Amino acid sequence: MTTAGDIMHRGAQWIPAHETLDRAAQLMRELNVGALPISDENERLCGILTDRDIVVGCVAMGHDPARVTAGEMAKGTPRWIEADAGVDEVLHEMRSHQIRRLPVIDGKRLVGMISEADLARHLTEDQMAAWAESVYARSTTG
């Protein structure tokens, strides 16, 4: 059985909730990623910050990314998956919550992230088409 751990992108890093969005953007650039899980002071997942969140939710609103924190941008209940979960569980979690990125946890530790690119590398064309239809058909965020 293929698992979340098999298809994830390893080396994901947290951005602490107290860090500013300009620092988050720098970290995204350094890691060449478009999203970062946000952690609280106990390194628990409290959200996900995307490059789109920074642009649309901060800069386009006239706010200074050096003064807005990642934690202020965290919204909703964060979703994640265990590293040993099967790909069917990954797809179900992403479809049911209409999300395009999913942190992977192993023993309460962040070990990776699953993105659309990871799915595209591991799913059949039919599986990918069904996933995209279910996530994009009703959602314009994420």
User: Tokens standing for 83?
Assistant: 């590293």
Mean pLDDT value of segment 128-133: 84
In tens, the pLDDT along 118-130 reads 998 888 888 888 8
**pLDDT given for residue 90 in this prediction:** 94
pLDDT at 138 over 80: no
In tens, the pLDDT along 14-69 reads 999 999 999 999 999 999 999 999 998 888 889 999 999 999 999 999 999 999 99
The pTM (predicted TM-score) of the whole model is: 0.83
- The mean pLDDT of the chain is 90
Q: What CATH code is carried by the domain that includes residue 21?
A: 3.10.580.10
Residue 142 lies in a domain: no
**pLDDT given for residue 94 in this prediction:** 92
Query: How would you class 76 by CB atoms within 10 Å of its CB: exposed for 0-12, middle for 13-18, buried for 19 or more?
Result: exposed
State the total domains in the chain. Answer: 1
Q: Which of 9, 15, 24 is nearest to 78 (CA)?
A: 15
Residue/partner pairs of 55-61 with CB below 8 Å, 24 or more apart = 58/21
**pLDDT given for residue 123 in this prediction:** 84
pLDDT at 139 over 70: no
**pLDDT given for residue 112 in this prediction:** 94
Mean pLDDT value of segment 67-92: 92
Of 2-6, 44-48, 104-108, 129-133, least confident by mean pLDDT is 129-133
Which structural domain, as residue segments, surrounds residue 13?
A: 4-136
Beta-carbon contacts of residue 58 (< 8 Å; ≥ 6 apart)? 21, 64, 65, 68, 73
Contact 106, 60 (CB under 8 A): no
CA distance 32 to 120: 18
Q: How many CB atoms lie within 10 A of CB 128?
A: 16
